[in-house]
Amino acid sequence: MSETPSFDKTQTIPIAMQLVSAGDSNIGRTRASNQDSGYNGVNLFFVADGMGGHAGGDIASALVTHKVAQVDAIYDSPESAGDAMKQAMLQANRKLSETVEQHGELAGMGTTFSGLAVVGSKVAIAHIGDSRIYLARGGQVKQITKDHTFVQRLVDTGRITPEEALVHPRRSVLMRVLGDVEDAPDIDVMTMPAKPGDRWLICSDGLSGVVPEDVMHRILTENGSPDDACELLVYEALEHGAPDNVTVVLVDLKHAGFAKKVETNAEFLGSAANDVVVENTKDRRFLRLLNPRNLPEVFGINQDPAAFLPESEEYLELILRQTKSRVRMHRLRQFLGFLVALAALGGLLWAGYSYTQTRYYIGESGNGKVAIFRGIHESFGSLKFSQLFRETSTDVNDLTLMQQDEVRRTIAADSLNDAYIKFDLLLSIEGQ
């Protein structure tokens, strides 16, 4: 199935703001398939991040995307737009359950959904899961949606810090998704004021969980076009290893000016860009076994196990314990790293000091005698790199003025032997 949105592309309507949008989806560097989907539409924009065992994540996100894209339309109020999105999401949720009934092997598939519709000078938002919506306005970037994850819940209840949440191994475990698990999933719906100059970003956790916040903020607040910004964001995710699929949809709000005609090229992204074919996966699973890229997933050794687990106190406790031990390990690694760096620095200094101790020079001792010193004449503040090695019976004052000057400025030697040779040379010249 690949229904196009019901939006009439030739329609001429008065609009409060002009929307300039872009979208991109990338499989990333380690995943065998792209389970993300996205929709860069006319008045509706969203990202869906699919999940589910060995197959199904791509199907779940694509099914939901095609279903919800059907409500891309002109609304007379942000509330009706929000409600239309929510109803379409609930329908999509039922569609997922039906699909699982017919294809048991897809059990457990699900998807996140984060989307927005622009209505006049308002934005309606619908959200479930851990994909995110950000707003860049006046040089500031703010996360608008809240992740429906176990770790976010622990942050909200003050049991772990946001920093601890960042390093948790199960930070992708979700408490709410669209899927075959719940009949009436709890969807966040809200409306917010929007204005020209706003830049809205919708993304999967393959971006927000991978690219550092300051890099994301810089790209969003720079004056590049939405196309350029999308490209840069995906590029940064790839540069940071892209362990997960990456999907971004970006919408810039501009003064409408004289643009009264809606121009659009609604596009489907990621898995939803292809026809959704639910096939018997038994053969496919065998074929998947032959592809080395799929081995981690086939054997369940997935480095980022996006999964859905309904709320339970035992699970919260487990996550809490894991967070604490993970953070301890993280701190221990940081401390060990610090020790190694300290040891390396110490070794370097010791090597430098040892080198100075293979050097000698001739100079004047405290008693005014010609003397041989070990080390180098230079000092660093009150730190000296030399000590008296042997004092001779020759008074510096008995030497010619030129020799006195030479001794007081010190005569460097490469070795002790070299120092004796230079010392003899000095006295033999004096003797002449």
Can you give the binding site for Ca ion, defined by CB under 5 A?
49, 204-206, 244
CB of 138 to Ca ion, least distance (A): 30
Give the DSSP letter string of 287-342.
HHHH-GGGHHHHTT--SS--EE----HHHHHHHHHHHHHHHHHHHHHHHHHHHHHH
CB of 306 to Ca ion, least distance (A): 5
- The distance from CA 52 to its chain's CA centroid, rounded to whole angstroms, is 23
Please give the structure tokens belonging to residue 160.
């772990």
Nearer to Ca ion, 68 or 242 (CB): 242
Cα gap 148→130, rounded to integer Å: 6
Q: How far is CA 259 from each of CA 12, 16, 20, rounded to the nearest angstrom? A: 10, 10, 12
- The distance from CA 107 to its chain's CA centroid, rounded to whole angstroms, is 31
CB of 337 to Ca ion, least distance (A): 29
Cα gap 298→135, rounded to integer Å: 38
Nearer to Ca ion, 112 or 323 (CB): 112
Cα gap 6→416, rounded to integer Å: 93
Q: Can you tell me whether residue 59 is helix, strand or coil?
A: helix
Q: Which residues contact 308 (CB under 8 A, 6 or more apart)?
A: 51, 108, 110, 173, 174, 175, 177, 179, 181
Residue 118 sits at φ, ψ, to 5 deg, of -100, 130
Nearer to Ca ion, 5 or 185 (CB): 185
Nearest to 49 by CA among 294, 281, 269: 269
CB of 93 to Ca ion, least distance (A): 19
CB of 378 to Ca ion, least distance (A): 59
How many Cβ atoms from other residues are within 10 Å of residue 369's Cβ? 18
CB of 376 to Ca ion, least distance (A): 60
Nearer to Ca ion, 18 or 30 (CB): 30
CB of 114 to Ca ion, least distance (A): 12
Nearer to Ca ion, 117 or 211 (CB): 211
Q: How far is CA 243 from each of CA 28, 60, 205, 208, rounded to the nearest angstrom? A: 6, 20, 10, 12
According to DSSP, the β-strands at 17-26 and 246-255 are antiparallel
Nearer to Ca ion, 271 or 386 (CB): 271
CB of 38 to Ca ion, least distance (A): 12
CB of 59 to Ca ion, least distance (A): 15
Structural contact between residues 374 and 386, judged by C-beta atoms closer than 8 angstroms: yes
Nearer to Ca ion, 204 or 271 (CB): 204
Nearer to Ca ion, 224 or 296 (CB): 296
Nearer to Ca ion, 46 or 385 (CB): 46
Cα gap 282→350, rounded to integer Å: 65
